[in-house]
Structure 1
Amino acid sequence: MADVRFDGVRKVYDNGRVAVHGASFDIADGELMVLVGPSGCGKSTLLRMVAGLEEISAGTLSIGGRVVNDVAPKDRDIAMVFQNYALYPHMTVAENLAFGLKLRGHDKAEIARRVQGAADMLGLGGMLDTLPRAMSGGQRQRVALGRALVREPAVFLLDEPLSNLDAKLRHSVRTEIAHLHRKLGTTMIYVTHDQVEAMTLGQRIVVLNDGMVQQIDTPMALYQRPANLFVAGFLGSPAMNTLKGRLQALAGGYFALDMDQEGRVPLGRAPLPAAWSGREVVVGVRPEHLQPGAGEAAFGVLIDSIEPVGNEMFVNLRHAGRALVMRVPPQVLPAAGEGIDVAVVPAALHFFDAASGLRLDAAQAA
């Protein structure tokens, strides 16, 4: 096992495109760290630099305290799992698992021990003589995991390993990866664009956008205290509602958001300093923190559609031409096309600077 350290790591391609802008963060020994972000954000480039498949333009990358910028991939003590499985179609499961060990000169007894151990751990014991074409996608991905597992590396690298699986298989294999990590305690770096995978798997998450690290924290800390509007909008399904306007302090400790032509949205007794009155902000409201309500803290919206999803409903709303989403338990609501009063949960609101997009806290009051 080993820790991984990025110190000002930068990647610039020959055409001048900057894929990673000076990334600096540590991954602890035995940690499962997830790199998440939209396509083209630099997450796979970071992983490939750890693997040695991409050269580092600037900065240093260390694995287990050793700088590996110029170390060949085969000498980095890492194992990588790809999204397309990359199995040899003419080889059985056992042969696929053993192939890399044979190339490294391990003896037959050691190869047999490692192959059997990986097969037992991943539920492949009865499939060792099976060819990949006779296996499901989930089974093939388990073989790909097993091929990395038999290496007994210091660091596992997983590059969107579930992207080719259907929803049910993704959940199943995701659970297996989490179980595997708990059992092995090995350092894992997991790349995905799927925020659900990131939130459920990562002990910590690195959120990337346009080659820059936006925030690093535990899943719930990211969800509850996003550092900026990008993180706020990227993590959460449905996405956070955002409303831009000018804060107005009202009598009795109440606040409202003045959105000019779009009207005024009451924010109730939001825990804000009076000094913020008149400040241009973006207010973030998670769908679960927008609820049917009445009274002076409520405002009227139009129901566009209702999506029942079993134990909850997503209610698509429209306010002054702006789309909003409300997440509620199953209940009777007016039909699509009709109006309803809703209210925010004041204590659960998020506030961001309208110009920079950075999170605002009461201690930062100007």
Structure 2
Amino acid sequence: MAKVTLDRLRKVYPNGYVGVADASFQIEDGELLVLVGPSGCGKSTLLRMVAGLETISEGELRIGERRVNEVAPKDRDIAMVFQSYALYPHMSVAENLGFGLKLRGAGKAEIAERVGAAAAMLELEPLLQRKPAALSGGQRQRVALGRALVRQPQVFLLDEPLSNLDAKLRMGMRVEIARLHRQLGTTMIYVTHDQIEAMTLGHRIVVMKQGHIQQIDTPMALYERPVNLFVATFLGSPKMNTLSGRVDERGDGLVSRVAEGIELPLPASGALADTLRGYVGRELIVGLRPEHLRPAAPGAATLATRVEVVEPVGNEAFLNLRCGRDEIVVRLPPYDLPKVGDELHLAYEAERMHFFDPVSELALGRG
């Protein structure tokens, strides 16, 4: 096991495109860290730089105390699991699991011992004599994990390993990977575009956009205290609702006029209120997560909306609503739901509101 340190790591391609810009953070020994972001954000590029499959343009990379910028991938003591299973079709599961050890000159007894331990951990023992063509997608993915596992590396690198699986298998494999990490205690870096995978697996999450790191924190800290609008709307399913409105003074307080006749009262005291007073006469983005909105009596409502789509999904329902010029989603229990076209008055949890500058998109107060 080892910690991994990235110090101002950059990847610049010959045409001048910056794939990764100044990535600086440390993955602790035994930590499971997730790199997450949309396609093209640089997360896989960063992982491949750690693996040695992508050259480093600037900065320093250390695994343990050793600088590895120019060290060949095979000498970095890492194991990588790709989106593609990349199994040898003519080999049995046992042969696939032990092939890397065989190439490194390990003896038959050592190979058998490690393959047996990995197969037991991943429940592959009944499948050891099968060929990959006789395995399901989930079984193939477990073999790919096992092949990395038998190496007993300092660091595991996983590049979207579950993206080829259906939803049910993905859920099962997420549990498998979390259990595997807990048993091994090995440092893992996991890349995904799926924010649910990121939230459920990561001890910490690195959120990336266009090659730049946006925020690094624990899953719930990112969810509750995003530093900008991108992080706020990327993490969470359904995503955070955003309402744009002009800030006005009303008596001793402030409101954000999000539509004609629809005003959101803003915090009236404290440091945040002082910040928001600087937005009087200007636009402000207000964020509210779907679970922080609820139906209210018409007289007590703060938001008047109209139902456009109702999505019951079993244990809950999502209501897609129109509020002035904005669309919002509410998460509700699946009982006594309104119908399409109904007017729905909503109350909200004021202490759960988020505020963002419309130009910089930085969070105000909570980030």
Task: Give the TM-score normalised by the residue count of structure 1.
Answer: 0.95
Q: Does 1:281 align with 2:284?
A: yes
Match of residue 255 from structure 2: 256
SS at match of 2:164: coil
Match of residue 40 from structure 1: 40
CA distance in 2, matches of 1:87, 1:176: 19
Match of residue 178 from structure 2: 178
The one-character-per-residue Cα deviations of 1:178-207 (angstroms, maximum 9, x if unpaired) are 000000000000000000000000000000
Gaps of 5+ in 2: none
- Shift, 1:297, TM fit: 4.6
Instruction: Indicate the larger mover: 271-280 or 210-219.
Output: 271-280
Instruction: Indicate the larger mover: 352-361 or 214-223.
Output: 352-361
> Could you say if the C-alpha distance between residues 269 and 228 of structure 1 is closer, same or farther in structure 2, counting changes exceeding 3 Å?
closer
Match of residue 114 from structure 2: 114
Gaps of 5+ in 1: none
Give the AA of the match of 2:186.
T
**Pairing 1:200-279 to 2, within 5 Å after superposition:** 200-251=200-251, 255-259=254-258, 262-267=260-265, 272-274=272-274, 276-277=276-277, 278=280
SS at match of 1:354: coil
> Could you say if the C-alpha distance between residues 174 and 275 of structure 1 is closer, same or farther in structure 2, counting changes exceeding 3 Å?
closer
Instruction: Indicate the larger mover: 286-295 or 144-153.
Output: 286-295
- Shift, 1:262, TM fit: 5.0
The one-character-per-residue Cα deviations of 1:261-311 (angstroms, maximum 9, x if unpaired) are 655332365764255231532111101111111335522111001111122
Instruction: Indicate the larger mover: 276-285 or 55-64.
Output: 276-285
SS at match of 1:176: helix
Instruction: Indicate the larger mover: 286-295 or 276-285.
Output: 276-285
Give the AA of the match of 1:9.
L
CA distance in 1, matches of 2:164, 2:62: 31
CA distance in 2, matches of 1:20, 1:138: 32
Match of residue 306 from structure 2: 302
Match of residue 83 from structure 1: 83
> Could you say if the C-alpha distance between residues 263 and 313 of structure 1 is closer, same or farther in structure 2, counting changes exceeding 3 Å?
same
SS at match of 2:162: coil
**Pairing 1:85-104 to 2, within 5 Å after superposition:** 85-104=85-104
Contact preservation (8 Å) 2:252, 2:268? no
Give the AA of the match of 1:342.
L
Give the AA of the match of 1:283.
V
Match of residue 356, structure 2, among 343, 352, 357: 352
- The alignment's C-alpha RMSD in Å is 1.6
**Matched residues, percent identical?**
64
Match of residue 295 from structure 2: 292
CA distance in 1, matches of 2:49, 2:182: 25
The one-character-per-residue Cα deviations of 1:70-127 (angstroms, maximum 9, x if unpaired) are 0000000000001110100000000001100010011111111000000000000111
> Could you say if the C-alpha distance between residues 288 and 134 of structure 1 is closer, same or farther in structure 2, counting changes exceeding 3 Å?
same
Q: Which runs of 4+ in 1 moved over 4 A?
A: 268-272
SS at match of 1:281: strand
SS at match of 2:216: strand
Contact preservation (8 Å) 2:275, 2:364? no
> Could you say if the C-alpha distance between residues 124 and 208 of structure 1 is closer, same or farther in structure 2, counting changes exceeding 3 Å?
same
CA distance in 1, matches of 2:40, 2:283: 31
> Could you say if the C-alpha distance between residues 225 and 211 of structure 1 is closer, same or farther in structure 2, counting changes exceeding 3 Å?
same
Match of residue 340 from structure 1: 344
- Shift, 1:328, TM fit: 1.2
> Could you say if the C-alpha distance between residues 252 and 309 of structure 1 is closer, same or farther in structure 2, counting changes exceeding 3 Å?
farther
Match of residue 58 from structure 2: 58
SS at match of 1:213: strand
> Could you say if the C-alpha distance between residues 275 and 121 of structure 1 is closer, same or farther in structure 2, counting changes exceeding 3 Å?
closer
Instruction: Indicate the larger mover: 138-147 or 349-358.
Output: 349-358
Contact preservation (8 Å) 1:267, 1:344? no
Match of residue 191 from structure 1: 191
